[in-house]
């Protein structure tokens, strides 16, 4: 059987391998960890109901990095932007959040590229991008109510301030929707002015709408404004904690999922992953696999150390964990690590009775990238 491309090794020099392995620490065990939260220190705001707009498409793309699978310069040349969003519950009609975080919420986001265009859309003043899926995707909130996305700083289009659309949904054990709510996230205008003065944003004319003149921003009592910070590598991070009015505080997740969240101050980061096992697999014997891809070279964590993956066989692939599969497994990918030299690394996490079964069933995700 042909080896799936996820585990295809590449030849590297000993110097390259040792350099990479010296930078990536051993993963922690699968026990409980301290509370991880980027957004927890922010004041939570109850999310106002806002229009989904004309560009919503239910692509069903479970992915952390929504800049992938495109060659558009208006995506690839945009300012890197990381979004950290934490979900809390709120009583119906309440103007304040509860202290209860909500796991298992499917959070979709979609927004414009640097040229002000959406993927998989046509009309409304933009060129046709039908069939493309850039800058769209969803993550499922982990046990701390957190989701994380890698994207770019959005561009603008006529009549709208800079924004990101958000749709939150929950489901029952049969896959039926039990909650469906849309809102929008906004950006500080002063920060946006600074970003838009740089390439490629500055190749366009001056935007015609700011928060103070955006009808949607002005149409709600408390619009959601991101807390923006600039990272040491020039990228931007937006943090926000939102309350969802009337949401079930313990929704069901009837699917495989991996969520990885970052804590710490860039470039010193701790990355924590949660693997949610499908209900039908809970209690079975299985393995959790953790891989990293850097400069075309694969590494795998077998529970003791990161090792160069140099085999062409799927037999006896090292696993981070082997044993009875629980509903959720949690572990660290990195712990307090200076990630400056790891720019471009991608982490993959998945599970199965074997590596071959994991790949055949598609039970793996690229869960974080630097």
For residue range 171-182, what is the model confidence (pLDDT) as tens digits?
Answer: 887 778 899 999
Taking the CA atoms of 276, 281, 284 and 289 in sequence, report the sign of the dihedral they define: negative
When mean pLDDT is compared across 35-44, 65-74, 110-119, 174-183, the lowest value belongs to 35-44
pLDDT band (50, 70, 90) for residue 300: confident
Same domain, 103 and 237: yes
Determine the Cα–Cα distance for residues 320 and 349; give it in Å rounded to an integer: 10
Give the model's pLDDT for residue 339: 81
Same domain, 21 and 80: no
- Domain span at residue 107 reads 45-245
Same domain, 161 and 238: yes
Q: Is residue 29 part of a domain?
A: yes
Give the model's pLDDT for residue 10: 46
- Cα angle for residues 23, 355, 357 (degrees, 5° grid): 150
**Arithmetic mean of pLDDT, 83-110:** 92
Same domain, 18 and 59: no
Same domain, 213 and 303: no
Give the model's pLDDT for residue 297: 83
**Arithmetic mean of pLDDT, 134-146:** 93
Answer yes or no: is pLDDT of 40 > 60: no
**Arithmetic mean of pLDDT, 266-295:** 89
Determine the Cα–Cα distance for residues 349 and 259; give it in Å rounded to an integer: 9
Answer yes or no: is pLDDT of 46 > 50: yes
Same domain, 197 and 59: yes
Please enumerate in sequence order all residues whose Cβ is within 8 A of that of 331, keeping only pairs 6 or more positions apart, or say none: 27, 28, 29, 30, 272, 273, 288, 290, 320, 321
Answer yes or no: is pLDDT of 4 > 50: no
Specify burial of residue 103 (Cβ count, 10 A radius: 0-12, 13-18, 19+): buried
Same domain, 208 and 315: no
- Cβ atoms of 233 and 309 within 8 Å: the answer is no
172-211 pLDDT, tens per residue? Answer: 877 788 999 999 999 999 999 999 999 999 999 999 999 9
Q: What is the mean pLDDT of the chain?
A: 86
Same domain, 281 and 359: yes
Give percent above pLDDT 70 in the chain: 89
Give the model's pLDDT for residue 41: 59
Give the model's pLDDT for residue 207: 96
Number of neighbouring beta carbons within 10 Å of residue 138 = 23
Same domain, 106 and 182: yes
Answer yes or no: is pLDDT of 82 > 90: yes
**Global pTM?**
0.80
- Cβ atoms of 37 and 146 within 8 Å: the answer is yes
Listed residues 212, 245, 278: the one ending a domain:
245
Same domain, 63 and 165: yes
pLDDT band (50, 70, 90) for residue 38: very low
Same domain, 225 and 293: no
Taking the CA atoms of 52, 54, 58 and 64 in sequence, report the sign of the dihedral they define: negative
Q: How many domains does the chain have?
A: 2
More reliable by pLDDT, 351 or 266: 351
Please enumerate in sequence order all residues whose Cβ is within 8 A of that of 224, keeping only pairs 6 or more positions apart, or say none: 45, 47, 48, 183, 184, 185, 186, 240, 242
DSSP secondary structure of 133-188: -TTEEEEE--TTSEEEEEEE----BTTB-SEEEEEEEEE-TTS-EEEEEEEEEE--
Number of neighbouring beta carbons within 10 Å of residue 279 = 13
Give the model's pLDDT for residue 170: 94
Give the model's pLDDT for residue 31: 32
Determine the Cα–Cα distance for residues 75 and 200; give it in Å rounded to an integer: 10
Answer yes or no: is pLDDT of 1 > 50: no
Determine the Cα–Cα distance for residues 121 and 133; give it in Å rounded to an integer: 9
Give the model's pLDDT for residue 154: 98
How many residues are given for the chain? 370
For 69, the enclosing helix (H) or strand (E) is none
């Amino acid at each position: 059987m042909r080896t799936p491309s996820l585990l295809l090794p590449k030849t590297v020099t000993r110097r390259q391998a040792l350099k990479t392995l010296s930078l990536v620490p051993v993963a922690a065990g699968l026990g409980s960890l301290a509370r991880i939260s980027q957004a927890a220190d922010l004041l939570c705001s109850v999310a106002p109901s806002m229009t989904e707009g004309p560009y919503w498409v239910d692509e069903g793309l479970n992915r952390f990095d929504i800049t992938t699978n495109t060659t558009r310069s208006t995506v690839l040349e945009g300012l890197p932007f990381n979004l950290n969003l934490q979900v809390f519950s709120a009583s119906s009609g309440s103007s304040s959040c509860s202290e209860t975080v909500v796991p298992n919420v499917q959070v979709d986001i979609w927004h414009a590229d640097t040229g002000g265009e959406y993927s998989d859309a046509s009309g409304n003043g933009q060129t046709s991008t039908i069939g493309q899926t850039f800058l769209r995707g969803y993550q499922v909130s982990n046990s701390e109510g957190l989701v994380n996305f890698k994207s770019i700083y959005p561009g603008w289009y006529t009549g709208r301030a800079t924004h990101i659309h958000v749709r939150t949904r929950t489901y029952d054990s049969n896959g039926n929707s039990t909650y469906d709510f849309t809102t929008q996230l906004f950006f500080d205008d002063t920060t946006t002015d600074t970003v838009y003065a740089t390439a490629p944003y500055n190749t366009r004319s001056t935007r015609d709408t700011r928060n103070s003149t955006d009808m949607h921003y002005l149409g709600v009592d408390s619009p959601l404004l991101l807390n923006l910070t600039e990272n040491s590598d020039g990228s931007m991070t937006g943090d926000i904690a939102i309350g969802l009015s009337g949401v079930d505080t313990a929704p069901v997740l009837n699917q495989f999922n991996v969520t990885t969240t970052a804590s710490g101050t860039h470039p010193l980061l701790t990355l924590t992953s949660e693997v949610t096992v499908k209900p039908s697999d809970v209690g079975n014997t299985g393995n959790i696999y953790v891989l990293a891809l850097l400069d075309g070279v694969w590494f795998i964590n077998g529970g003791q150390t990161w090792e160069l993956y140099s085999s062409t066989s799927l037999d006896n692939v090292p696993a981070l964990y082997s044993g009875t599969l629980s509903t959720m497994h949690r572990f660290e990918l990195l712990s307090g690590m200076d990630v400056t030299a790891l720019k471009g690394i991608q982490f993959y996490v998945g599970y199965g009775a074997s590596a071959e079964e994991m790949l055949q069933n598609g039970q793996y995700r690229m869960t974080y990238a630097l």
